[in-house]
Amino acid sequence: MDPDQTAQPSVGRRAVGAAETVAAQRSWWDAEAAQYRREHGAFLGDARPGSDLVWGPDGLREQDAHLLGDLAGRDVLEIGAGAAQCARWVAGRGARVVATDLSLGMLREGAGPARAAGVPLVQCDARALPLPDAAFDVVFTSYGALPFVADAGRVLAEAARVLRPGGRFAASVPHPLRWALPDVPGREGLTVTHSYFDRNAYVEADEHGTVTYAEHHRTVGDWVRLLVAAGLVVCDLVEPEWGSGEAVWGGWSRLRGELVPGTLVLVADRA
């Protein structure tokens, strides 16, 4: 029997390289862009005048957290911007903003509103930004880029490169503790089933073994070391308490969010 006739898509934890991850992410997000925005766009700010900057499913919003500081008159870069809801919110605070994403499909979803808000969109890999050194006062990303690359240190190094001295970097990622728990919102999602210390990626592959999606795990300590190695000075590690009511988003829910953190926000300055 031809092995291809019995092969099935697979899901598991294993090592996966940088190039393979990038190819999978571009394809996956391009294909899912429209559905993702239909499902999550309202929460992310499409339903609000001027959009929104929400740091994660837990509901922490920049208008309350003030992690980016005063934005008026600042040059700001968003990486992993998706449909650029966050960038549009920043533009509404008086900043000059550029939004980038690996996925052209995601950028197309936000092209009209971004144009109206005066936010230029750039399709690029966050590991190699086509932007000059020391061009921005603030670089940020809300659940963009960092969890979806095998070499997050390259993204952080690029963020530091384009930041001006004293500039602010902020990024939200799934809280590393989530790696040890099943990705479900109910009580079964409160039992540790996997090692927190296993750095193998979560990988989805098709019947031919081609990676179609990958998400990479780092511990809290890993993130601190990567920030420092990039030349950034850690200012804060924010673990938002649950503030999204009865909303459910994948494994995020009120039940889990009131017991364990779901998001980690990394806040650092360039030396």
**pLDDT for the residue numbered 5:** 57
Could you tell me the mean pLDDT of each successive run of 10 residues in the chain, 271 residues long?
68 95 96 93 77 93 97 98 96 97 97 95 98 98 96 98 98 97 96 97 95 97 98 98 95 96 98 91
**pLDDT for the residue numbered 2:** 52
The DSSP bridge pattern shows strands 96-101 and 121-123 to be parallel
45 φ/ψ angles, rounded to the nearest 5 degrees: 125, -5
Q: Please check whether residue 37 is in contact with residue 109, taking contact to mean a CB–CB distance below 8 angstroms.
A: yes
Sign of CA dihedral 251, 140, 156, 96: positive
**pLDDT for the residue numbered 51:** 73
**pLDDT for the residue numbered 42:** 86
Question: Going by C-beta distance under 8 Å and a sequence separation of 6 or more, which residues neighbour residue 249?
Answer: 40, 43, 57
pTM assigned to the model: 0.94
Q: What is the CA radius of gyration of the chain?
A: 18
d(CA 145, CA 147): 6
d(CA 59, CA 143): 13
Token output for 178: 């989530």
Question: Going by C-beta distance under 8 Å and a sequence separation of 6 or more, which residues neighbour residue 227?
Answer: 156, 169, 234, 266, 268
Q: Please check whether residue 268 is in contact with residue 235, taking contact to mean a CB–CB distance below 8 angstroms.
A: yes
- Helix 220-229 / helix 152-162 crossing angle, nearest 10 deg: 40
d(CA 243, CA 260): 13
